[in-house]
Chains A and B, each alone.
Chain A
């Protein structure tokens, strides 16, 4: 059986290590990856546990397809209670870690307790060791990875690590692997730091079985052709994810100067085409790289062309670095963006969160809510590139009053700053919004408000809503595998039919995260990319598990519901601005000031927005308060959770 895969439970307090085979029954209910992690988190944490205490549990996993002969099974998922939001913590990264973990004999790790002193976990062909990490403490993300390789004398070791930000318990510290692959959101690096866990290093030369290798190989070829022939992926392969920021900025969907503008004007120097020129100048024409088994190769290589860090090698920048260090602070310099990206990669911090927080602080400074005394004399105005870069380092090391406050996250910082600072904080559930502006796009606004890990674009965003696809094409996508005959509209300024698209995408992305593949391989940015219909084949050929598209959809619904149950257990309340499915008032009150002709003046109609939330709840099987109806829990087989099956 190709699915006899293992999970390890590692208790850092006691040093006890247990390994178990993942039961087939749980595979059929949750597949793997993020979906199975959700089940494990719900079962392995207690209500109200301290996110930074030994009672929090960190899950690390690959998906059910990880390391198999499927395309782009590079993703590693992390889950724990979030120190940033107090709700679901969940983050996903590319690179080479999860496949190596699979070849080392494990698909899921459950890490509990807290080590007395800095340690790292080393996993090699089924063996698990907890090792001393004193010599690694204080090192940056890449220094740590190279040091582990040197210590063990093996260049093929893959590690996921924290940098200084995780050690300093910055609540949005991330976990990183390689040069720039980051599990960025919800402060999973902070959880590792709180456990005194500097790294998890893996190395494996064990087989991952393939149920039907001949068919898997042939189908993979067909699958890859479907993926690489998509225009969006051809564009990604040249310009990387900055192209999304560029395209969005073009029509006025990019948050600028915190939330004051929806477009970064005269942005030529930070547009993807300019970034690509710098990559070509510093790394040559073939500067795009890929994660494990992926032919999209959306990650650029570059060297910083000038400034304090001139000559430093790094990878990216992604959409979020353009937003964080370009659009949001209104610093329209490629060198600043590339430098900011390098700093957060080295420190191990979420670029999205830090960019949003600094832009927020800049608006507060502009409005006189923050004084120069509070900034320790730093002239924190928009467009001050040096102040921006200085703040990144200060936040990582918690230097100064403001940086220390921001390192705790937006809501705690707003409580320290006081006055009306909270009103300007663009967040949902305590996590800052992506640097996109959803005032002109109700479907995307609904997604940001209701995503399970706080404001987020990778949980349920119907991004193809922007493509003006004919209704009959929309029906072919959104009417499967579960029939839907309600309204659907090509018009992305419309409210009708959008809740169904958000519901469908929520399940699509959950399935992708359970499979362990990349979202550029599904209906995220491209309408013709694989989805529920394609996955039964790839699952069957690789694992032998027979699934219908409908069953996969139901697994995703079930797993999303477990995330919802976790959030409700930890205090999610529907309209609560700090812990609910609600947007900042500026979405409803302040019209867009820039962008394409008819984006100017756009804002979200609150009444229609609330109706969309109602409709989404109905599709999810929640009541008006956002709590699962008993019949929903019964239908999804969740009425006896926590069931402690694993």
Chain B
């Protein structure tokens, strides 16, 4: 076996697939990409009803800090009611 020092590994070649400045909706059937305005503190999913609080790790790296609790609770209660109980 010889080591091919220059050859990119699978992980290294996957680096090109990294995206920046985006987050995903956390709803498993949605998973919509969202591009928050730089520095934005909130994001609303354009497809489903979820709303999120945003934190910026650095200027190109937003992350979902958590849902907007009131919206989250309301959606869950409605869904549970529809499912027929808690």
A interface residues with partner B (beta carbon < 8 Å): 215, 219, 226, 229-231, 234-235, 238-239, 243, 246-247, 249-251, 263, 265-268, 271, 273, 440, 467-468, 473, 476-477, 480, 491-493, 523, 527-531, 533-534, 536-537, 540-541, 546-548, 591, 593-601
Q: B61 near A251 (CB under 8 angstroms)?
A: no
CB pairs A–B below 8 angstroms (21 shown): A231-B18, A231-B57, A251-B28, A492-B28, A493-B28, A531-B11, A533-B11, A547-B1, A593-B76, A594-B73, A595-B76, A596-B72, A597-B27, A597-B48, A597-B76, A598-B29, A599-B27, A600-B75, A600-B80, A601-B80, A601-B83
Judge whether B64 is part of the interface by a CB distance below 8 angstroms: yes
When chains A and B are docked, how far (Å) is the Cα of A531 from the Cα of B83?
Answer: 43
Q: A265 near B57 (CB under 8 angstroms)?
A: no
Q: How many A-B residue pairs have CB under 8 A?
A: 133
Could you list 18 further interchain pairs (A-B, Cβ under 8 angstroms) beyond the known A534-B12, A599-B28?
Answer: A235-B57, A238-B58, A243-B63, A247-B63, A250-B26, A250-B66, A476-B14, A493-B29, A540-B3, A594-B73, A595-B72, A596-B50, A596-B67, A597-B30, A597-B49, A597-B79, A598-B30, A601-B79
Ranked nearest first, the 9 interchain pairs of A and B with the lowest CB-CB distance are A251-B26, A533-B9, A596-B27, A468-B31, A600-B79, A534-B9, A596-B26, A533-B10, A528-B14
Residue of A nearest to B83 (CB): A601
When chains A and B are docked, how far (Å) is the Cα of A251 from the Cα of B65?
Answer: 10
Contacts of B83 in A (CB 8 A): 591, 600-601
When chains A and B are docked, how far (Å) is the Cα of A527 from the Cα of B16?
Answer: 12
Q: B69 near A266 (CB under 8 angstroms)?
A: yes
Tell me the chain B residues, 27-46 only, with Cβ under 8 Å from chain A. 27-31
Q: A598 near B86 (CB under 8 angstroms)?
A: no
Q: A226 near B1 (CB under 8 angstroms)?
A: no
When chains A and B are docked, how far (Å) is the Cα of A250 from the Cα of B15?
Answer: 26
Residue of B nearest to A537 (CB): B3
Q: Report if A594-B76 is in contact (Cβ < 8 Å); known contacts: A215-B5, A226-B12, A267-B66.
A: yes
When chains A and B are docked, how far (Å) is the Cα of A7 from the Cα of B3?
Answer: 29
Q: Which of the residues B3, B17, B55 comes within 8 Å of A473, measured between beta carbons?
A: B17
Q: A594 near B63 (CB under 8 angstroms)?
A: no
Contacts of A267 in B (CB 8 A): 66
CB B1 to nearest CB in A, in angstroms, measures 5
B interface residues with partner A (beta carbon < 8 Å): 1, 3, 5, 9-15, 17-18, 20, 24-31, 48-50, 52, 55, 57-58, 61, 63-67, 69, 72-73, 75-76, 79-80, 83, 86
Residue of B nearest to A219 (CB): B5
When chains A and B are docked, how far (Å) is the Cα of A405 from the Cα of B70?
Answer: 40
Contacts of B17 in A (CB 8 A): 473, 528
When chains A and B are docked, how far (Å) is the Cα of A596 from the Cα of B18?
Answer: 25
Q: B63 near A235 (CB under 8 angstroms)?
A: yes
Q: Report if A530-B57 is in contact (Cβ < 8 Å); known contacts: A246-B66, A598-B29.
A: no
Q: A529 near B11 (CB under 8 angstroms)?
A: yes
Contacts of B50 in A (CB 8 A): 596-597
CB A496 to nearest CB in B, in angstroms, measures 15
CB B52 to nearest CB in A, in angstroms, measures 7
CB A254 to nearest CB in B, in angstroms, measures 11
Q: Report if A265-B73 is in contact (Cβ < 8 Å); known contacts: A235-B61, A239-B57, A528-B14.
A: yes
Residue of B nearest to A215 (CB): B5
Q: A249 near B66 (CB under 8 angstroms)?
A: yes
Q: Which of the residues B12, B27, B64, B66 comes within 8 Å of A598, measured between beta carbons?
A: B27
Q: A597 near B80 (CB under 8 angstroms)?
A: no
Contacts of A239 in B (CB 8 A): 57
Q: B3 near A536 (CB under 8 angstroms)?
A: yes
Q: Which of the residues B5, B11, B28, B58 comes within 8 Å of A596, measured between beta carbons?
A: B28
Contacts of B1 in A (CB 8 A): 536, 546-548
CB B59 to nearest CB in A, in angstroms, measures 11
When chains A and B are docked, how far (Å) is the Cα of A540 from the Cα of B3?
Answer: 8
When chains A and B are docked, how far (Å) is the Cα of A263 from the Cα of B55?
Answer: 19
Q: A273 near B86 (CB under 8 angstroms)?
A: no
When chains A and B are docked, how far (Å) is the Cα of A493 from the Cα of B13?
Answer: 28
When chains A and B are docked, how far (Å) is the Cα of A491 from the Cα of B50?
Answer: 18
